[in-house]
Amino acid sequence: MMSNSMEFHLSLYRKMVMIRQFEERVKYLFLEGIMPGTIHQYQGQEAIAVGVCEHLADEDVITSTHRPHGHAIAKGLSVESMMHELFGKSTGCCAGKGGSMHIGDMAHGMAPAIAIVGGGAPIATGMALAFTMRKQPQVAVAFMGDGAVNEGAVHEAMNMGAIWSLPIVYVVENNRYSASTPIAQTTKVANLADRAAAYGMPGVTVDGNDVLAVYEAAGEAIHRARTGGGPTMLEALTYRITGHSRRDPCLYQPEEERKAALTQEPIVRFTEFLLSQGHTQQALDGVRDEVNAEIERAVQSAMAAPDPAPEEALVGLFV
Amino acid sequence: MAQMTIAEALRQGLREEMTRDARVYCIGEDIGIPGGWGGAFTVTLGLEKEFRERIIDTPISEAGLFGVALGSAIMGMRPVADVQYSDFIFCAMDQVVNQIATMRYMSGCKLTVPITMRAPVGATGRGAQHAHNIESMFLGIPGIKIVCPATAYDAKGLLKAAIRDDNPVLMIEHKLLYGSKGARTESGAVDASSDIPDEDYTVPIGKGIIRREGRDVTLIGTLLMMHRAVQAAEVLASEGISAEVIDPRSLSPFDWPLVEASVRKTGCAVVVEEGPRTGGVGAEIAASLTERCADALLSPVARVAAPDIPVPFSPPMENFYIPDVARIAAAARSVIVRQRMSVSA
């Protein structure tokens, strides 16, 4: 892996910016009332999806959450197919039947996102079991937030992953809030990864706003999973710099904390790093412009696509 | 051809399907522990010796195991996931209702979810939490097919059809019909054994069967209630009433052509179910019958069901709870009286 090359760093940057700009564009479309539905966004957590998924091929699989856009982009879904889905078009990646909270495409190894907190962990564990039963070299990653670790399904899933030594990584994105409730109010342990010991699996806490640190820690965990070493609980510390959903003004996040977080968010930090490594601001701006153009093409294409016939809703429940 | 109980027929069905297709596997609690019972009702007894890697015993983690079954199914495996008692599937309701039932649809109908779920129902002297009849709770969930075998022949045939189906199928089994033996014998068991053909066969999902032909009234029931309805038909016959007994075998999809044809012939119907009356399977069937053949109904559809209470433990109270032959026969007589009044008027 070309993990230290300038080209590699720029590709990570491009993916993170793609997620950020996609989310910003979606936020605007939503607030303007142009896009239907509700949204849960990923701004501030981009380094985690990108750092983890960089190790995964299309044949490796993930489960995601109600906050899935970042995972989808990092896993290789096209922003065009996603944008069509968010606009409810039958040309979307889930034919308009999934929407924001169920975005996914198994052609790229992403199951329809699971919008019940913790609900994806058993499913990812079952995907990993399928790899083991068929003696395939692939791995599964279950993405979840800090709120999910207090769900029973996650406990059951991590225990099963551990006793069967499955090829899976449980990635906990600790953005410090379960919707509006701060983590100190829900969880006693200092590090969520400490809970891994209860299942007999390694637990690792990493700076989730440092894409290279995530990349390195995820690489170890995924390598362990791929080579028969069983699951890992990987906790990535981060901060949600957008609302929980919709028009949430985040009044529950203390202003000082929020201000500090904005200086520590992953794209600010990676930009500083890239500039220190000899990348030019002009080059980074060029990446951003390209990304924006791609997203704009997706928006225009999605808005121009015809709405589905209402009765398409009745088609396809069963095979 | 061999005479088998439901437990034996299901075991043979699982063995044949696992032999036929390497993607088929069983996952559940206590299903393959050497020295154990082969699940709570002996269905998987000994299969772990033949299929060591495809009989997967789990921790007591119903949400986990149904989610695992789902994850493996969308990767191409064909799991048969079971709970020891249907009451335990409530621990996995998120996985069953939110995930298994919706996954294909949410994916834009691209994924297939070939899961068979097995769940034993019925009040059997165990109190309220090992006794639910879950049929009505799943009937209103689009995305899950429901089958309810009352005989060993149907149990094996429907199991095989469920395993070969590319959709989620919930197979509801009755504790008193298994014919479990040895330490797992059930008191009050009803003989549901059948002659099982040597050759491969399936029973199509969504097809019911006429268990007894009749002219005067249609009795509709599945599982244990099918057997009670047949007994009630015998009582009615001795009184000169000719009752037709229909075993729908599948609740979803439902064999409306069969049931509708019978009701159009008899002009009246009694729906029998073991679970509570309110919001029950009988309510759905009765409402649909009035929509489909109001012109042919000479009497309102009657429901025989349990009262709206948890299942009581004490044997006299439990016997009072479960619909019996006398109540089924009485309901049939009452609809026939109305039918005859309607005809004579």
DSSP assignment of chain A, as one string?
--TTSHHHHHHHHHHHHHHHHHHHHHHHHHHTT-S-S-----TT-HHHHHHHHTT--TTSEEE--SS-HHHHHHTT--HHHHHHHHTT-TTSTTTTSS-GGG--BGGGTBPPP--STTTHHHHHHHHHHHHHHTT----EEEEEEGGGGGSHHHHHHHHHHHHTT-SEEEEEEE-SEETTEEGGGT--SSSGGGGHHHHTS-EEEEETT-HHHHHHHHHHHHHHHHTT---EEEEEE----S-SSTT---TTS-HHHHHHHHHH-HHHHHHHHHHHTT--HHHHHHHHHHHHHHHHHHHHHHHHSPPPPGGGGGS-S--
At residue A1 the predicted structure's pLDDT band, cuts being 50, 70 and 90, is very low
Residue A3 or A126, more confident:
A126
* Per-residue pLDDT tens digits for B59-113: 999 999 999 999 999 999 999 999 999 999 999 999 999 999 999 999 999 999 9
Partner-chain residue, chosen from B66, B72, B109, that has the shortest CB–CB distance to A127: B72
pLDDT at B184 over 90: no
CATH 3.40.50.970 fits B2-196, yes or no: yes
B78, closest residue in chain A (CA to CA): A130
Nearest to B71 among A98, A124, A319 (CB): A124
Put simply, the answer to whether B108 touches A93 (Cβ < 8 Å) is: yes
Are the folds of B2-196 and B209-344 the same?
yes
Kindly state the percentage of chain B with pLDDT values over 90: 95
pLDDT value at residue A3? 58
- Domain ranges for chain B, please list them: 2-196, 209-344
Q: List strand residue ranges (DSSP E) for chain B, in order.
A: 2-4, 24-28, 55-57, 78-82, 116-121, 145-147, 169-174, 194-196, 209-212, 217-220, 243-247, 250-252, 269-276, 302-306
The domain over range A16-305 is classified in CATH as 3.40.50.970:
yes
Instruction: Give the model confidence (pLDDT) of B189-239 as tens digits.
Output: 999 999 999 999 999 999 999 999 999 999 999 999 999 999 999 999 999
Q: What percent of chain A has pLDDT over 70?
A: 99
Give B1-24 pLDDT, tens digit per residue: 999 999 999 999 999 999 999 999
CA distance B11 to chain A (A): 22
Average pLDDT over residues B288-314: 96
pLDDT of A70-120, one tens digit each?
A: 999 999 999 999 999 999 999 999 999 999 999 999 999 999 999 999 999
Average per-residue pLDDT for chain B: 96
* Average pLDDT over chain A, rounded to an integer: 96
Find the mean pLDDT for residues A36-40. 92
- Looking at residue B183, its pLDDT comes to 78
Q: Where are the domains of chain A?
A: 16-305
In CATH, what class is B209-344? alpha beta
Specify whether B130 is catalytic: yes
Residues of A with CB under 8 A from a CB of B: 61, 63, 92-98, 102, 104, 106, 111-112, 114, 116, 119, 121-131, 133, 140, 152-153, 156-157, 159-160, 163, 315-319
In this predicted complex, what is the ipTM?
0.96
Chain A environment of B145 (Cβ under 8 Å): 318
pLDDT tens for B151-160 read 999 999 999 9
